[in-house]
Amino acid sequence: MTTPEEITTATDRIADKVRRVFTREITFAEVVRIHQNRVASTIRQPGPAMSDEAHLPQAYEDAKRSMAQCERVDECKDWADKAMAIAAYARQAADITLLNHALRIQCRSTRRMGELLIQIEPNKGGRPSKTRDTDDPGLSRKSIADDAGIKERQRKTSIRIAKIPEQEFERLVDAEKAPTVSGLIRETQRKETGEKLDELASREITHPSGEFDVVVIDPPWPMNKVEREVRPNQVALDYPTMDEDEIKGIEIPAAENCHVWVWTTHKYLPMALRCIEHWGLKYVCTCIWHKPGGPQPYNLPQYNNEFAIYCRKGTPLFFDTKAFNTCFYAPRGKHSEKPEEFYEVVRRVTKGRRLDMFNRRSIDGFTGWGNESLG
């Protein structure tokens, strides 16, 4: 039976060999050849076994030059997989220098993979190939990626990283603390989100004129996205949010008799009810959008629905109440986007001027209002 002391000694030997990769004492190929059977089964997704086809240099600067000249998608993947293996060892050995080098190589090889895939038309079919020969009409990004053992998520990630402006990419990758591939996407997404928020804040919002007989409002509740390594695109919301006092300060241009629907989620349901009371509206009922899937907090049910609280000012009338239910099923769209099925019902059961406040897309039959309004 292996003792803890023997395990520690073996781990130290492995860490020493891996550390020497970047001091020109041994090569990537040697380290990976010795340990790939032990590492690959635990840290790589199922796929073709790692090969030694990639030309593996002895130092990081050599690696940068070689990757820039790489002409094969499968070779780039080989680089990325082996760099990931070395990063795993570096974490275990608490070797920050080695870890940073390995992560940078993984980012650069993933970017080069995407650059090669971008050169291929995205929707062609035919016989797959490992080369980047774009003159072959049978090539497609998917077929080449499949042939190289590249999963769909890795393929899309590589293309996303390849589209990062070169100067920005170099700044992120050569930072003191090297990013992971997911972290690289997240930082880029955060920058894009910040730029969009600045652009939205600079827009001059034109307030709708007159009063409306129907108002749908989807307030920008003060929520935040939870950043996770497995969801690198999930960063800060790409639209401005408001706190409760700011939402209460919204002026709703409701007619004397007006139907109002207020969209909210489980977390902000109490806040929504307080805002409705502050606006001087009368609560009537809550419509429920049953949707496929949703977040599930720890030790709680899955939140697979949202609420459209129906309230009113005065005594407005509905003009058709057939198949008019408080619960409806509809597929999910983009974040915060409300289903067309809801608007179809509202158009059918109401008449008059309709306003959609804080809409994120153009809605037929509604005037849009908000800094993202499209109609």
The 8-class DSSP code of residue 312 comes to E
Which of 151, 208, 177 lies closest to 370, judged by CA? 208
Q: Does any domain span residue 26?
A: yes
DSSP string, 241-286: ---HHHHHT----EEEEEEEEEEE-TTTHHHHHHHHHHTTPEEEEE
pLDDT digit string (tens) for 124-138?
Answer: 444 444 444 444 555
243 has pLDDT over 80: yes
pLDDT digit string (tens) for 143-164?
Answer: 888 888 888 888 888 888 888 8
pLDDT digit string (tens) for 163-184?
Answer: 888 888 888 888 889 888 888 8
Banded model confidence at residue 211, pLDDT cuts 50, 70, 90: very high
Rounded Cα distance between 178 and 99, Å, is 8
Strands (E), 72-188: none
* Structural domain boundaries, residue 133: 4-179
Residues 174, 222 within the same domain:
no
| Mean per-residue pLDDT, 4-9 | 54
Q: Does any domain span residue 151?
A: yes
Q: How many residues does the chain have?
A: 375
Residues 174, 56 within the same domain:
yes
Residues 149, 228 within the same domain:
no
Those residues with Cβ within 8 angstroms of residue 86's Cβ, 6 or more apart along the chain or in another chain: 18, 21, 28, 31, 32, 98, 102, 105
Split into its structural domains, the chain has a count of 2
Which of 179, 203, 231 is a domain's end point? 179
User: Is the pTM of the predicted complex or chain greater than 0.85?
Assistant: no
Q: Using alpha carbons, list the distances in angstroms from residue 347 to 60, 165, 207, 342, 344.
A: 62, 45, 22, 9, 5
Residues 156, 34 within the same domain:
yes
Pairing of the two strands 367-369 and 327-329: unpaired
**Could you report how far apart the first and last alpha carbons of the chain are, in Å?**
72
Tell me the CATH number at 256.
3.40.50.150
DSSP string, 191-208: HHHHHHHHHHHHSPPPPP
Q: Does any domain span residue 312?
A: yes
pLDDT digit string (tens) for 104-120?
Answer: 889 999 999 989 988 88
What is the pLDDT, as a whole number, of residue 314?
95
Residues 225, 157 within the same domain:
no
355 has pLDDT over 90: yes
301: number of Cβ within 10 Å: 9
